[in-house]
A and B are shown apart, each in its own frame.
Chain A
């Protein structure tokens, strides 16, 4: 019976291939929103974690910093129990590093005639350094002479994390909208399919077909449409992330490239696509037959 259901479902899809394709594309656009949201969310979170981990605290020095001022800042940082190490990068070393990592843009820097990059101190914090104590140190160092700017990633990350939290709420709303949208699209298409086969359904009922026998192919049709749509949206998303990973602005933010969705997320998307398609077709069948 399962074989009959599957072959009938594929036959129905094939017989209405234009409608089936249109539905699969529409469903995939809806599911694609969800996939894109997940990918953006996860990559943003990963980038933030990386930034906070790799560059916890950077002190940028002014171009006219004296050796005495530099020593004073370094001594203050090294003397702090929160700090595990301080690395000094001179203006020349910063330029050299930049040239090494950004060969394409080195010519642009050279055309300026001067070195625009500041000298800096990269500060490694101890793992047990609390954010409040670290913030107090940051505030103190900001006031020291010769210091131009202090970047404390936890501070920036904190702001971005609160943005991410709002983004998560928006994601829930988007997820709900997509869920309803997918069910509705699937419902509308399958309703049309059920109506197109209404005479056949009537004959099958007169022949004594059980409800599940009549419903089976239509339910599978909805399931397949959902699965195809989820596969399609994941494929497009994968291609898009791969393409974006090669663009300069993304390389700056995520040098390792943008990550695709983790296994649980893409498996979840495929399962959701199938399940939502199935739900839509079930609604379509029950509603249409009741008329």
Chain B
């Protein structure tokens, strides 16, 4: 499903974010991307969603070489990927419902389907009662759930989550990971970037460990 071949990326031509990274993630697989802060985890995730372009190497997502994608094909690729951003990236002036529904509106679903699917996913992540609230009225854990709901509602083929439990207490972390586990159980390919070893210990899966932009271990 995801293949990186000798991928390198630097910012401003100097600071090397990732260097000569190669790995494969099979369809339906659950993979952790670990490493200390600044190791290059977020860069790898951003490369996967075409938010960055590699300096060297090839990236294949769902069989498509992203270097050969035309500008208008990038949104199409992104529509198949659910992303949970480290900083949530919820739209502050939209309600919880509208934030989640936006995913489906982008895909062109009818209002009726949007209402049904959004209501369902908000219930499944436990924030349905906050559907008319605005992101800034929510706790960190609730915002994280909304971000996950937004990524899940469109039934993505790939779920990419960047530190989805960062700064959350252990109870909320467990809830969030349980949600991600459920998504994976439905056949979605999942990549979770985290530096939380406790999560990996409790829910062991294959680990890609990177440090200083280099892949050190593929468990």
Contacts and interface: CB of A to CB of B under 8 A. Distances in A.
A109 interface: no
Nearest to A3: B111
Contacts of A199: 91
Contacts of A206: 49, 51, 78, 83, 85, 89
The residue among A4, A199, A208, A213 with the most chain B CB atoms within 10 A of its own CB is A208
A204 B89 CA distance: 10
A166 B51 CA distance: 58
Nearest to B101: A4
A208 B89 contact: no
Mostly helix, strand, loop or mixed at chain B's interface? helix
A234 B7 CA distance: 62
Interface string B61-73: 0000000000010
Nearest to B111: A3
B192 to A, nearest CB: 18
A108 interface: no
Interface residues of B, number: 22
Nearest to A210: B75
Contacts of A200: 91, 93
B91 A203 contact: yes
B79 interface: yes
A167 B85 CA distance: 62
17 contacts: A1-B108, A3-B111, A200-B93, A203-B91, A205-B78, A206-B49, A206-B51, A206-B89, A207-B102, A207-B150, A208-B75, A208-B77, A208-B80, A208-B81, A209-B106, A210-B72, A210-B75
Q: What are the 5 A-B residue pairs with the smallest beta carbon separation, nearest first? A: A208-B78, A208-B79, A208-B75, A209-B106, A203-B89
